[in-house]
Amino acid sequence: MSGLQRFSRPRSVRRGAALALVFAGVLAAGAATGSFGGQGHAESALPAASASHRDRVADAAAEAMADGKSPAAAAEEEVSRSGDRWGTVYDPTEYEEFAEELDGAYVGVGLWTRRDRDGSIEVDRVQHGGPAQRAGIRTGDLLRSIDGRPTEGRPVREVVDRLRGTGDAAGTEVELGLQRGTRAWTESLRRARLETPTVSVEQLGGSTLRIKVSAFTRGTGERVRQAVRSAPHGTGVLLDLRGNSGGLVREAVTAASAFLDGGLVATYDVRGKQRALHARSGGDTTRPLVALVDGGTMSAAELLAGALQDRGRAVVLGSRTFGKGSVQMPSRLPDGSVAELTVGHYRTPSGRTVDGQGITPDLDVDEGAESRARTVLSGLGTPS
């Protein structure tokens, strides 16, 4: 497969998320941790981009450039007409951010924000070990200004951009105006390159280990494998994929390898050619396993849940997943923007289509899903 493969969220909900980016030649070289064989599944009902469609998008962008118009806007209009619901166009800055997030890293001060109803910006989360935590900033603090510029009423995206800085901002200083109750103060922080935490491990009682995976960035799959290898004997695993926005397919396959002894994880077609992804051998096949999913479980996370379900390795519990199971391949436009078009679709080991369908859990639970999962896990016994 040439070009860049993306297995990710729809544009309207994926900005700023960890997205699936596999650069030219990487997948073809086998970095997806799978072998590529013929699997005779039926064609997906959703259209995949043809060469002529790619050419039309490229031609529209080139003509717009020659006429002094926006190539990205022209390409986006052509993509919209194509009926490709996952097709989209990104500007160069967005695409650079996505590439950075592929590595599970970003430049910033280690805090996440949200906007309250009154327009104020509140610290939603503080990254352990980051500049913000070292300065004593806490969840719930109000972020009143950045470098003297008020944040109230500003979009969260703008706030994030200002916290990150421009260009190679690692090592630069940013001044934050903060408030906690009646106390208001200013804190000067130095931006740093930080890892995005995608895997958290927590012991819940004596016999349950929760492994929460928020996205599949580089290294996530191996961190899941390590967590399972390090789990005490007699401990069952809650694999929490709720809200997981997807990410690198090869990382999801590596995560599946933690629980499987080789075998099929998924198949996919790219312009009529059938290929397959296989787990590594040597995974833990006896430890009790429940996978938690919901409507925010997307893309590569759905691939993992579907594989564990089809292979009879896990009880999948929660609510139906999002239903994003297509492969996108981007191409560069004359102005540096990137047009991303659907070129294929994923299926679970049993041949189920993910795109537009999602994964239906074995046990449909909305309220108290984690408590129910722990009950189910306790009934699965202990590993031998």
**How far is residue 6's CA from residue 348's CA, in Å, rounded to a whole number?**
18
Pairing mode, if any, of strands 289-293 and 315-318?
parallel
Residue 226 has what pLDDT? 98
> With left for phi above 0 and alpha for psi between -120 and 50, is residue 276 left, alpha or beta?
beta
- Which amino acid, residue 184? A
How distant is the alpha carbon of residue 279 from its chain centre? Answer: 20
Residue 254 has what pLDDT? 98
Residue 90 has what pLDDT? 86
- By three-state DSSP, how is residue 372 classified? helix
**How far is residue 45's CA from residue 65's CA, in Å, rounded to a whole number?**
34
Residue 382 has what pLDDT? 65
Q: Cα-flanking dihedrals φ and ψ of residue 77, to 5°?
A: -65, -40
pTM, to two decimals: 0.74
Residues in contact with 66: Cβ distance below 8 Å, sequence separation at least 6, in sequence order: none
What tokens were used for 294?
Answer: 């919901």
**How far is residue 164's CA from residue 143's CA, in Å, rounded to a whole number?**
15
Q: What is the CATH number of domain 106-195?
A: 2.30.42.10
The continuous run of DSSP H or E covering 32 comes out as none
Per-position DSSP letters for 166-189, written without gaps between them: SSS-TT-EEEEEEEETTEEEEEEE
Residue 343 has what pLDDT? 85
Q: For every one of its 384 residues, what pLDDT tens digit does the chain have, with 9 covering 90 and above?
A: 323 344 444 444 333 322 333 222 222 222 222 222 233 333 333 344 556 778 889 899 999 999 999 988 999 999 888 888 888 888 887 777 777 777 888 889 999 888 888 889 999 889 889 999 999 999 999 999 999 999 998 888 789 889 999 878 999 999 999 999 999 999 999 999 998 889 999 999 879 999 999 999 999 999 999 999 999 988 999 999 999 989 899 999 999 999 999 999 999 987 778 899 999 999 999 999 999 999 999 999 999 999 999 999 999 999 999 999 988 888 899 888 999 888 889 999 999 999 999 999 999 998 899 999 999 999 997 665
- 177 - beta bridge partners? 145, 186
Structural domain spans, the chain: 106-195, 199-326+345-379
Q: Which CATH superfamily is domain 199-326+345-379 in?
A: 2-enoyl-CoA Hydratase; Chain A, domain 1 (3.90.226.10)
The Cα angle at residue 224 between residues 218 and 228, in degrees rounded to 5 = 160
**How far is residue 248's CA from residue 256's CA, in Å, rounded to a whole number?**
13
How many CB atoms within 10 Å of residue 62?
15
